[in-house]
Amino acid sequence: MFKCRDIHAHASDYLERRLSRWDRIKFRLHLFICVDCRNFIRQLATTIAALARVKQATDPKQLDDQLARLLKAHRADQNHKQ
């Protein structure tokens, strides 16, 4: 079974579906029992999704503002679901 350090090391591969079937099973089993790693993966997935939605901006301040709005909206949505 994977340990927390394995989850951190393979998080991108998991989210991009590059793990073997067996490693994916071990990964999911660890997530089932470890709330900290579940939160880590959820936050990483949220960050990746937010960055994918950010349009290219010529002004870095614009980019910061847009990313902050996206993350704030996501947090509000997550709090509403809980």
36-42 own/partner pairs: CB under 8 Å, 24+ apart: 36/4, 37/4, 37/7, 37/8, 40/7, 40/8, 40/11, 41/7, 41/11, 41/14, 41/15
What is the reported pLDDT for 81?
A: 66
- Per-residue pLDDT tens over the stretch 6-36: 999 999 999 999 999 999 999 999 999 999 9
> What is the pTM for the complete model shown?
0.67
Residues 6+ apart with CB under 8 A from 27: 2, 6, 7, 10, 14, 19
